[in-house]
Amino acid sequence: MIELKNLDVQFKTDHKEIHAVRDVTIQIDNGDIFGIVGYSGAGKSTLVRTINLLQRPTNGSVRVGDKQLLDLNPKELRQARKKIGMIFQHFNLMNARTVSGNVLYALRSSKLSAEEKHKKVAELLDLVGLADKHDVYPSQLSGGQKQRVGIARSLANDPEVLLCDEATSALDPKTTLSILELLKNLNEKLNLTIVIITHEMEVIKEICNKVAVMEDGSVVEQGDVVSIFTEPQNALTQEFINTATHIDQALAKLAKHPTLLNLNREDTIARLSFVGESTNEPLISSLYSKFTVSTNILYGNIEILHDTPIGNLIVVLSGNPTQIKQATQFLESQQVHVQELEHVQTNEKAKVVPLNREYVV
Ligand SMILES: Nc1ncnc2c1ncn2[C@@H]1O[C@H](COP(=O)(O)OP(=O)(O)OP(=O)(O)O)[C@@H](O)[C@H]1O
Ligand SMILES: [Mg+2]
């Protein structure tokens, strides 16, 4: 288990002080794939670098397993760091060494015999799918293959934790998926705890079970991925999710939808979000049979997150206002979250935005 408690990191430069991490408390359980998402400069790398004390916090404590890292002497810290692997956006491979040379280098202070080390390197390269690339130099590898070498190297000392700082940001979407799949396999096979930094909620959606959202040094929201995706509390979280689920694109496109340009005054535009069971209910048709409210679906999307379907519909509800109100109350009672939207026209630009301006879209 990793426990970061009340962490602060402040940098003092010549003219100013930067508070890169502000009072962050996070608990990461064994076997978690914990995502940290935020825009550039949010403090993600600084925060994650405190987990192996590459960055010492100005305040707070860092516990990894049963060790308070700030209490360790240099030798103990070196030992503790071996149990924490790390991979990077630009792979950081040594170009003058072969693939196996790169992995072998990570074993330089290991107590294994030369023969055991070679065996270990072969096993690791096999594990990451590079069994046929031992003697190749990094320059002859694709980005995805280079990251696989990075992963093999990070696993050389049998870490319990793997820190990934934008590990897929330099890769195309297909390669990204294959690397994420590899990480997921390693998580399951080796019970490896993984911490992933990313600026893409898509990455979180793909493999993480927990997520923390960072803004300006602080964690503004954290929790398990399914609840964060279904009930985000923070505007920034909502923004990341809208991008990952393509709702933002849908809303932008819908702004020009003929239905929305010709709405009756009593029509209501709404976003319906639901989890699991609700998706199986013939809810839409019951809105008509129960309340004579008709539903025009303008956009629909279902994501499967850890076997849980999460749905989003953008609809226009038409009918008598009282009945529309009853219909939305009924939906809420069926665990369908209803968010009213409005169509606004400003400076020639049409937008669909939340009515209550609870979220920035
Ligand atoms: N060694 C340093 N000295 C001074 N300021 C720093 C240092 N490292 C980071 N910062 C500052 O701390 C803030 C957080 O930086 P950090 O690299 O942690 O952000 P990030 O979320 O990882 O961003 P990105 O997505 O661009 O990698 C930024 O304002 C950055 O300029
Ligand atoms: Mg960073």
Distance in angstroms (rounded) separating the CA atoms of residues 200 and 170: 12
For 238-252, what is the mean pLDDT? Answer: 86
Q: Which residues surround ligand 2, an ion (CB under 5 A)?
A: 45
- Cβ contact 323:292 at 8 Å: yes
Q: Whose CA is nearest to atom 11 of ligand 1?
A: 20
Distance in angstroms (rounded) separating the CA atoms of residues 303 and 206: 10
Q: What is the CA radius of gyration of the chain?
A: 25
- Residues near 96 by beta carbon (within 8 Å), at least 6 away in sequence: 137
- Cβ contact 188:196 at 8 Å: no
Cβ–ligand 1 distance for 222 under 6 Å, the answer no
β-bridge mates for residue 5, sequence order: 61
- The CA-CA-CA angle for residues 27, 191, 73, to 5°, reads 60
Minimal CA–CA distance to 275: which of 315, 227, 241? 227
Distance in angstroms (rounded) separating the CA atoms of residues 47 and 118: 35
Q: Which atom of ligand 1 is nearest to the CA of 197?
A: 22
Question: In whole numbers, what is the pLDDT of the chain averaged over residues?
Answer: 92
Tokens of 55: 């960055």
As a whole-number percent, the residues of the chain with pLDDT over 70 amount to 97
Residue 246's pLDDT is 85
Q: Does the structure show a pLDDT above 60 at 323?
A: yes
Query: Of the residues 4, 9, 10, 46, which should be mutated to test ligand 1's pocket, given the most ligand atoms within 8 Å of the CB?
Result: 46
Q: How many CB atoms lie within 10 A of CB 358?
A: 11
pLDDT band at 335 (very low <50, low <70, confident <90, very high): confident
Ligand 2 centre distance from Cα of residue 88 (Å):
10
Q: Does the structure show a pLDDT above 60 at 307?
A: yes
For 346-353, what is the mean pLDDT? Answer: 76
pLDDT band at 279 (very low <50, low <70, confident <90, very high): low
Residue 359's pLDDT is 41
Cβ–ligand 1 distance for 36 under 6 Å, the answer no
pLDDT band at 361 (very low <50, low <70, confident <90, very high): very low
Distance in angstroms (rounded) separating the CA atoms of residues 40 and 56: 21
Ligand 1 centre distance from Cα of residue 168 (Å):
19
Tokens of 293: 């409210």
For 42-47, what is the mean pLDDT? Answer: 97
Residue 360's pLDDT is 40
Q: Which atom of ligand 1 is nearest to the CA of 48?
A: 18
Please compute, for residue 132, the number of CA atoms within 13 A of its CA located in the half-sphere on the CB side: 0
Minimal CA–CA distance to 19: which of 52, 49, 41? 41
- Cβ contact 28:193 at 8 Å: yes
Cβ–ligand 1 distance for 129 under 6 Å, the answer no
pLDDT band at 159 (very low <50, low <70, confident <90, very high): very high
pLDDT band at 357 (very low <50, low <70, confident <90, very high): very low
Q: Whose CA is nearest to atom 27 of ligand 1?
A: 40
Q: Which atom of ligand 1 is nearest to the CA of 13?
A: 4
Residue 356's pLDDT is 63
Q: Does the structure show a pLDDT above 80 at 221?
A: yes
